[in-house]
C-alpha cells in the first residue's frame, strides 16, 4: 500500500477536519495524489507492476534457465528469449495468459534489468607491470 492510500485509510486526529486538503497537509501527501487515489487511479508503481510481461516468479524461472544453459556451454541467443518467456507463461490461467510473445525490444530490456544475465567482460592482462 502506497503512502497516499494509507493516508486515505487512516483516521485523522481530533480537531482536524475530514477534508482532502486537511488530510494532505497532515500526511504530507500532495492533494492531487489523494484525489486521484480516492477516485480509484492506481499509483505509478502499481501500474508498472501490472504491465510487466512476466510475474516475478516466472522471471526468476527464465533467468535460472538462461544461466543453466550458459553453464552447460550453450548460451541462448537474444532472439530466442521472447519465445522462452512466452513458454514460461503457459502455467497461468487461460484468462491471464498473454496471446503472443513479448515485443522485439523486450529481451534487451529484460537483460538490462537483470544484472546476473550480463556477461562480464574480461580485461586484458597488463604485461608491463
CA-based end-to-end distance of the chain: 56
Relative orientation angle of helices 81-88 and 56-71, to the nearest 10 degrees? 130
Q: What is the pLDDT of residue 129?
A: 64
Q: Is residue 27 a contact partner of residue 7, using CB atoms and an 8 Å limit?
A: yes
Alpha-carbon gap, residue 24 to 32, rounded angstroms = 9
In 10 A of CB 26, how many CB atoms?
14
pLDDT digits (tens, 9 = 90+) for 57-109: 999 999 999 999 999 999 899 999 999 999 999 999 999 999 999 998 999 99
Least confident range of 29-38, 57-66, 110-119: 110-119
Amino acid at each position: 500500500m502506497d503512502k497516499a492510500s494509507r493516508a486515505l485509510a487512516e483516521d485523522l486526529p481530533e480537531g482536524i477536519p475530514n477534508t482532502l486538503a486537511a488530510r494532505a497537509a497532515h500526511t504530507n501527501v500532495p492533494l492531487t495524489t489523494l484525489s486521484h487515489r480516492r477516485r480509484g487511479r492506481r499509483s505509478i508503481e502499481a501500474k508498472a507492476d501490472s504491465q510487466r510481461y512476466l510475474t516475478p516468479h516466472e522471471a526468476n524461472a527464465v533467468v535460472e534457465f538462461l544461466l543453466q544453459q550458459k553453464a552447460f556451454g550453450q548460451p541462448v541467443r537474444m532472439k530466442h528469449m521472447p519465445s522462452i518467456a512466452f513458454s514460461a507463461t503457459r502455467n497461468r490461467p487461460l484468462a491471464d495468459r498473454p496471446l503472443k510473445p513479448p515485443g522485439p525490444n523486450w529481451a534487451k530490456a529484460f537483460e538490462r534489468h537483470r544484472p546476473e544475465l550480463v556477461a562480464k567482460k574480461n580485461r586484458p592482462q597488463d604485461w608491463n607491470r
